[in-house]
Structure 1
Amino acid sequence: MMGLLEERERAALARVEELRAELERVRAAVAEAEEAARRAAVAREEVVDALAAARDVPDAGAAEAVSGVASRVEVPRWHQGLDVAVLPGDCAAIVALVEDDAAGGGGGVRARRMREHLGWRASDAREQAARFRAKRLVERGWLSEEGPGLFRPRSGRAG
């Protein structure tokens, strides 16, 4: 009788291990699917933004933007004497927010606050879009990224 119970226990423990391994595979697949969904949402919203921007340009430019040739919002490289007014609307608003934060003694601005400042609905995709714009502003010399996802005015650039 004891041998039979021990055998059942070993079989049950083996099944537990099999299920745990399967659970880990399922968790990894779920994480991969969530990441794919997040990336697709960001891409979709970027396309919507590009198409909305295309409606604001003359007809020839709109055709180019819709075809994907000019779908990126151009952010000029910062240089001495260049004003925030040359930036596209969302980018200018982000720079203004970051500069206001610094003037008030803030420690920097994160994507969530940018999204809220821009009046965008709450979603991971919209936060990613705000972060993407801020990183583009860093690349072009308008802002600096003090830590991962923490944006401040670039030193040497007066607001």
Structure 2
Amino acid sequence: MVSWLEELERREAAARDRIAELRGQIDELTALLVEQEGVLSRLEITRETMGEILSAASAVSGPGADKDEVAESANGPMAEAVLTGSPVGVRLVPTWSAELEAEVLPSSYRDIVEILGDAVHPMRAHQLCAALGLSTDKNKVEGFRSKLKRLVERDWIAELEPGLFAARGTPLPTERAPGQPEDAGRR
């Protein structure tokens, strides 16, 4: 039979062990809490910085704004971001206009416009992929098609009929181009 003194010591030891275990869990949770507070702090700083960049960029009165005016309206590091042309909120593919050349486009888009400009016939997305040396796997071609649609939306190229792309101003062909179905091009 166990004496009451031994039972009391056993219970005290168990309580001390449980306290040590709980303190270990508290230390773990404290470390996780500090880590998550750091993440939240970085996100808040990012939100503030982006707000400053966007508000400084919106302070620019438009494309004719003088860089000196911009420098006066923005201060500190924000002035540098505005003056150097922060890509935030900027269209990488501008809408076509007579005064713009294809050189204003990112190289991947510029290559598409140049290939279509040199092409004899309108081309489909998979033909353009092949001409550019890109993969012609279906999923890659579908992703590439979004670039073509963006160029069509911004008037850099024309979609003569669904899936048939050509340089802007190209008339609809009257005969079948290579790779087109038998009934394509005859209207």
Report the TM-score when normalising by structure 2.
0.41
Tell me: higher relative CO, structure 1 or 2? Use CA pairs within 8 A at least 6 residues apart.
1
Report the TM-score when normalising by structure 1.
0.48
Give the number of the structure whose residues are more often helix, by fraction.
1
